[in-house]
Amino acid sequence: MDTQKLQALLKGQSKNIVIVTHKNPDGDAMGSSLGLYHILKNAGHNVHVITPNDYPSFLKWMPGEKDVWRYEWTKSRSHKTIMGADMIFCLDFNDISRIEALGAEVTASKAIKVLIDHHLTPVVDVDYTYSDDNMIATAEMIYHFAQKMDMLEFLDKDSATCIYTGILTDSGEFAFPKTSAVTHYVVSELMKKGVDNYAVYQHIYMSFAQSRLLLLGKSLSNMHIFSEQAAVCMTLTQEELDAAGFKKGDTEGFVNYGLTIKNINVSCIFIENKSEGIIKVSLRSKGNFSVNEMSRQFFNGAGHINAAGGQLPTTDMQYAVSRFKEAVEYYKDAILASNEQK
């Protein structure tokens, strides 16, 4: 389907539209989904946002958030709504497995499907793809998409606030390399719509639970430093999570702290999930070293060049650390060469 045809559909009569995003939604998943939700609603469509599962409480203030359905809690009404949808938007994921059981529903639906995403090499079967891995956030793409669809008139303070939140969180507060002049232009346009940047910051970064700080302390004190390979890894066992009173979202961003050490180019955190029998892996890098590649080779995962994730099918933390040691030894030269200051 070409852009003109999609524009005609969206500017035509009211449609039943479903927006889905990836499991364990983050600020960008929620920001892009709710940003688009408000724009499409303002354009007269009937819109539902459905996430695979619940999201952290630091996102539970976003405009429209109370209308979001979690598929795991709303299977039968989600099923009916997805089957009755005219259009489905897939946001912020590149592989249908990232939405788990919700994927089978989306695949079975006869709706026209649109993918908007900034991950590498999308492989989702859709009618219209807007994919750009140079974009800092899917939320920024929602702004460009609205422009492409000639729908910027429907961008209001609520949608702008959601899009801003997605950009803020996925860009590491405008610090990551893919933050561009265009990103800042978009932010400027969003702020003209009335985004309260201070309020958003308070909601996202100044509203942590005590358990988060306890776990941050724990993960930092558990840090293994591999200075010869310019890498660090942190760990949190289920026992440590339970003792601190872990809540969803508490450990978001911990992995970035490893990179704040001078001359460390790769950081990793392993977090045990006893009920699933796995250890979840998060990886970050400085410079051009690809943790996406490392995750594919060593941790059954994928992601972006500087941010990737995966998992190990074990709860043996010692094994996880030894696997990391093996990985950073394997990539040692590339890690050391990464982020060389010009």
In the DSSP assignment, the letter for residue 268 is E
**Beta-ladder partners of 50:** 20, 69
In the DSSP assignment, the letter for residue 290 is -
Interface residues with Mn ion (CB under 5 A)? 28, 92, 138, 170
Among 282, 285, 290, 338, contact with ligand 5GP (rule: CB under 6 A): 282
Chain-centre distance of CA 33, in angstroms?
11
Which lies closer to ligand 5GP via its Cβ, residue 29 or residue 126?
A: 29
Total binding residues for ligand 5GP by CB under 6 A?
A: 10
* CA gap 67, 40 in Å, rounded: 14
* CA gap 60, 47 in Å, rounded: 19
Partner in contact with 309, chosen from Mn ion, ligand 5GP, none, beta carbon below 5 to 8 Å by kind: ligand 5GP
Q: Please give the structure tokens belonging to residue 73.
A: 């809690």
> Per CB under 6 A, does 59 bind ligand 5GP?
no
CB 148 within 8 A of CB 3: yes
User: x-or-dash pattern for ligand 5GP, window 113-152, by CB under 6 A?
Assistant: ------x---------------------------------
Mark the segment that binds ligand 5GP (CB under 6 A) among 35-43, 150-158, 219-227, 295-303: 295-303
User: x-or-dash pattern for ligand 5GP, window 298-327, by CB under 6 A?
Assistant: ---xxx---xxxxx----------------
Q: Please give the structure tokens belonging to residue 235.
A: 């760990």
Which lies closer to Mn ion via its Cβ, residue 97 or residue 322?
A: 97
Which lies closer to ligand 5GP via its Cβ, residue 34 or residue 269?
A: 269
Which lies closer to Mn ion via its Cβ, residue 32 or residue 235?
A: 32
Long-range pairs of 291-294 with CB within 8 A, sequence gap ≥ 24: 291/266, 292/120, 294/266, 294/327, 294/331
Mark the segment that binds ligand 5GP (CB under 6 A) among 29-37, 65-73, 218-226, 297-305: 297-305
Q: Please give the structure tokens belonging to residue 97.
A: 């497995």
Give min distance, CB of 316 to Mn ion, in A.
Answer: 31
Place of tokens 């599962």: 53
Of 143, 127, 109, 110, nearest to 32 by C-alpha is 143
Q: Which residues bind ligand 5GP (CB under 6 A)?
A: 119, 282, 301-303, 307-311
